[in-house]
Amino acid sequence: MRKAIDDGFREFTQAYGESLEAFFDPLLTFLVWSEKVLLNSPWPLVIIAIAGLAYLGSRSWKLVVGVIVAFCVIGYLGMWEDTMSTLSIITVCTIVAIAIGIPLGILMARSDKVQAVVTPILDIMQTMPSFVYLIPVVMLLGIGKVPGLIAVIIYALPPIVRLTNLGIRHVDPDVVEAANAYGCTSWQKLKNVQIPLALPSIFAGVNQTIMMALSMVVIASMIGVKGLGQPVLKAITNQYFSMGLLNGLAIVAIAIIFDRVSQQYGLRIQKHREGGHGV
């Protein structure tokens, strides 16, 4: 059986490998473009842009100061290029995961049959060791940025799907019933009632997707993905303690920034929905 599976996979790779590479070319183009934008932009402009986004999301000056200090230290320690590469990877992976995950979560919320089919797949994606993702992806597409991106997206996708589904299913039935009583169509009900009320849960899913993607950065570096993961991997193999520590701390700093901003934004949305002062 093992030999049959291996032979079948090799035949599939030979027959469709080039077509798959062509299919993922737009993803590679998007990643290369975003990486060039971050690397070629003046560092003060990049820091101001990131700090501005952090303030828009969190409305916290303390967090903004923390962002500025963290990125200045990263630049001072010579990790700027690797950090920008990591940011571009996380940005692209998060956008793709959201584009796939939210519609899939909505489908799950609207159909028990879809949920019954998708849930076991998500269980497998979350429980399978992350190294296992690399095997079929590398065999299909070789070593490089696209295989790493696909592996990261697969690993980071389940939270946004699950929490979108959960958020929509847990919308107050009385509110949904009132929308039905007013004659709302399914699309109007979804757009104007269910999604707005599920936004805190959806943003929690976005938060977890970002964290999962960051946790996959080091593993993805094994197949040629540039970023902070490569120095960490090099430090492990060559026992460079300081290199591994500093790059690891840079990953932690990025994770904390993303986590705090997305959490604060989700809380503000929730307060706004509950009638408090929000966005």
92-107 tens-digit pLDDT: 888 999 999 999 999 9
The helix or strand, by DSSP H or E, that contains position 39, with its residue range, turns out to be helix 25-40
Q: Which whole number is the average pLDDT over 228-232?
A: 80
| Mean of the per-residue pLDDT values of the chain | 82
Give the residue extent of every domain in the chain.
2-273
State residue 104's pLDDT score. 93
Cβ atoms within 10 A of the Cβ of 202, count?
A: 25
State residue 238's pLDDT score. 78
Give the CA radius of gyration of the chain.
Answer: 21
In the numeric block, the tokens 């899939």 are attached to: 104
- Please report, as a single letter, which amino acid is at residue 182: Y
State residue 56's pLDDT score. 87
Tokens of residue 100, six digits = 């796939």
Query: Contact 269/279 with Cβ under 8 angstroms?
Result: yes
Residues 6+ apart with CB under 8 A from 188: 179
State residue 22's pLDDT score. 77
Dist CA 266 CA 57 (whole Å): 9
Dist CA 270 CA 21 (whole Å): 41
**Fold adopted by 2-273:** MetI-like fold (1.10.3720)
Dist CA 175 CA 184 (whole Å): 12
Taking only the tens place, the pLDDT of each residue in 177-225 is 888 888 888 888 888 888 888 888 888 888 889 888 888 877 777 777 7
Q: Which whole number is the average pLDDT over 258-277?
A: 70
Residue 16 pLDDT level (bands cut at 50, 70, 90): low
State residue 23's pLDDT score. 77
CA distances from 105 to 58, 162, 192 (A): 26, 6, 17
Dist CA 6 CA 21 (whole Å): 20
Taking only the tens place, the pLDDT of each residue in 111-133 is 889 999 999 988 888 887 777 77
Dist CA 181 CA 187 (whole Å): 15
The helix or strand, by DSSP H or E, that contains position 91, with its residue range, turns out to be helix 80-110
